[in-house]
């Protein structure tokens, strides 16, 4: 990293499928200076999340699309290096919504201080003590409405960052948990090491509706949807009367052209009196400290396991990001951009 230079990946054109270096380009910009009420963060780690692909599209979402010419938005953890903001001082570490760049300006919105006790590595605040832990934590404790012990929770992208942690939280809270993942190795990991009760490899199982029925003989009480598409359709045909669907993500559609047909089996929402709830972890931002405290306790007690895949080198960011859509990642994807 050269002093005075802010390396950035920025959105040059909106991608229609997988983003390439044609649409997401590299440039060197000057390091910005904070105005009154702002602070400057030097980013250490970038979080690579499927949602970033959605923000590259023009479709309206829970955040505005990334503007053409703007750096690619991402959650980062870094150090405050300059501050003209009353609540933040140089030397403090923060996690916030910034970008694929060395230095980001912030006005303090959606910015959280990371405890300075050094108990956990900084990158944990992008994974287990960040969205990876808190997304399933609030989704399962607040949105899924577990009603009785032994309910069956079906998790898609179950070996992914959110899914693998979510399945373990549901187990702690007394559910029977069945995961859907894209390889035998992933299925073995979630059942043998994470304690899921059963797993389905959706790429080799054949009839997915039947595979879910076999793995969930009493039906699915709660479907935790990270994927949408054909897996959602198969889950809909296995829901119990009064079942609940937590709509957390739709990764199967993120690299498409934006014209996603509704679920073919949507009628089942009526026929089975289902509750479908859209879920955003950001809605729980004021309660993140409470979620971090609980996730830390479970972590310290050895009740939650997780995997991180930390890649080094800012220049590799786009290439590593695309692993998310190939199923190639085996843990939370993080870039360490401090050195190349």
Ligand X SMILES: NC(=O)c1ccc[n+]([C@@H]2O[C@H](COP(=O)([O-])OP(=O)(O)OC[C@H]3O[C@@H](n4cnc5c(N)ncnc54)[C@H](OP(=O)(O)O)[C@@H]3O)[C@@H](O)[C@H]2O)c1
Q: Which is nearer to ligand X, 103 or 306 (CB)?
A: 306
**Should residue 167 be labelled a site residue for ligand X when binding is judged by CB under 6 A?**
no
How far, rounded to the nearest angstrom, does the alpha carbon of residue 191 sit from its chain's CA centroid? 21
Taking alpha carbons only, the member of 238, 250, 248, 249 closest to residue 274 is 238
**Should residue 324 be labelled a site residue for ligand X when binding is judged by CB under 6 A?**
yes
The token pair that represents 17 in the structure block: 């499928």
Q: Which is nearer to ligand X, 235 or 274 (CB)?
A: 235
The C-alpha atoms of residue 233 and residue 230 are separated, in whole angstroms, by 5
Q: How far is the CB of 252 from ligand X (least distance, A)?
A: 3
**Should residue 249 be labelled a site residue for ligand X when binding is judged by CB under 6 A?**
yes
**Should residue 313 be labelled a site residue for ligand X when binding is judged by CB under 6 A?**
no
Give 123-148 as a DSSP string: GGGGTTTTHHHHHHHHIIIIIS---S
Q: How far is the CB of 94 from ligand X (least distance, A)?
A: 19
The C-alpha atoms of residue 216 and residue 218 are separated, in whole angstroms, by 6
Site for ligand X (CB under 6 A): which residue of 110, 120, 266, 325? Answer: 325
Long-range contacts of 327-331 (CB under 8 A, 24+ apart): 327/182, 327/183, 329/160, 329/161, 330/159, 330/186, 330/189, 331/161, 331/306, 331/307
Instruction: Scan residues 281-300 and list those touching ligand X (CB under 6 A).
Output: 281
Site for ligand X (CB under 6 A): which residue of 172, 327, 336, 338? Answer: 327
Is the distance from CB of 216 to CB of 223 less than 8 angstroms?
Answer: no
Site for ligand X (CB under 6 A): which residue of 280, 294, 312, 336? Answer: 280
Residue whose beta carbon is closest to ligand X? 160
Span of 6-14, 21-29, 66-74, 180-188 interacting with ligand X by CB under 6 A: 180-188
Span of 24-32, 47-55, 71-79, 167-175 interacting with ligand X by CB under 6 A: 47-55
**Should residue 220 be labelled a site residue for ligand X when binding is judged by CB under 6 A?**
no
Taking alpha carbons only, the member of 245, 209, 202, 196 closest to residue 224 is 245
**Should residue 51 be labelled a site residue for ligand X when binding is judged by CB under 6 A?**
yes
**Should residue 161 be labelled a site residue for ligand X when binding is judged by CB under 6 A?**
yes
- Helices 288-300 and 131-138 cross at an angle (nearest 10°) of 100
Q: How far is the CB of 31 from ligand X (least distance, A)?
A: 29
**Should residue 179 be labelled a site residue for ligand X when binding is judged by CB under 6 A?**
no
Instruction: Scan residues 97-156 and list those touching ligand X (CB under 6 A).
Output: 131, 135
Site for ligand X (CB under 6 A): which residue of 252, 268, 296, 317? Answer: 252
Q: Which is nearer to ligand X, 20 or 282 (CB)?
A: 282
Place of tokens 């089996």: 265
**Should residue 329 be labelled a site residue for ligand X when binding is judged by CB under 6 A?**
yes
How far, rounded to the nearest angstrom, does the alpha carbon of residue 215 sit from its chain's CA centroid? 26
Task: Indicate left, alpha or beta for 20 from its phi (over 0: left) and psi (-120 to 50: alpha).
Answer: beta
Q: Residue numbers of the site for ligand X (CB under 6 A)? A: 49-51, 131, 135, 157, 159-163, 181-183, 186, 226-227, 231, 248-252, 279-281, 324-325, 327, 329
């Amino acid at each position: 990293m050269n002093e005075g230079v802010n390396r950035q990946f920025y959105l040059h054109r909106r991608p229609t499928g997988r983003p390439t270096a044609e649409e997401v380009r590299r440039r060197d910009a000057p390091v910005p200076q904070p105005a009154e009420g702002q602070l400057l963060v030097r980013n250490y780690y970038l979080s690579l999340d499927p949602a970033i692909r959605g923000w590259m599209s023009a479709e309206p979402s829970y955040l505005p699309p990334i503007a053409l010419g703007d750096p690619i938005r991402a959650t980062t953890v870094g150090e405050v290096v300059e501050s003209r903001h009353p609540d933040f001082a140089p030397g403090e570490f923060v996690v916030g919504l910034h970008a694929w760049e060395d230095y980001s300006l912030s006005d303090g919105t959606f910015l959280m201080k990371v405890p300075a006790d050094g108990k956990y590595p900084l990158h944990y605040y992008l994974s287990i003590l960040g969205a990876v832990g808190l997304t399933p934590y609030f989704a399962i404790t607040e949105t899924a409405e577990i009603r009785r012990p032994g309910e069956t929770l079906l998790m898609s992208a179950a070996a992914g960052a959110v899914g693998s942690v979510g399945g373990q939280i549901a187990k702690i809270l007394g559910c029977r948990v069945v995961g859907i993942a894209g390889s035998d190795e992933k299925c073995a990991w979630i059942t043998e090491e994470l304690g899921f009760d059963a797993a389905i490899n959706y790429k080799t199982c054949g009839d997915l509706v039947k595979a879910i029925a076999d793995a969930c003989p009493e039906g699915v009480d709660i479907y935790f949807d990270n994927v949408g598409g054909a897996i959602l359709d198969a889950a809909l045909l296995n829901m119990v009367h009064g079942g609940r669907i937590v709509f957390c993500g739709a990764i199967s559609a993120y690299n498409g052209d934006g014209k996603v047909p509704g679920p073919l089996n949507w009628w089942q929402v009526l026929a089975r009196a289902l509750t479908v709830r859209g879920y955003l972890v950001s809605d729980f931002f004021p309660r993140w400290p409470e979620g971090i405290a609980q996730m830390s306790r479970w972590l310290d007690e050895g009740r939650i396991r997780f995997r991180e895949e930390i890649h080094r080198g800012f220049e590799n960011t786009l290439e590593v990001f695309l692993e998310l859509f190939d199923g190639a990642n085996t843990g939370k994807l993080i870039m360490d951009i401090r050195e190349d």
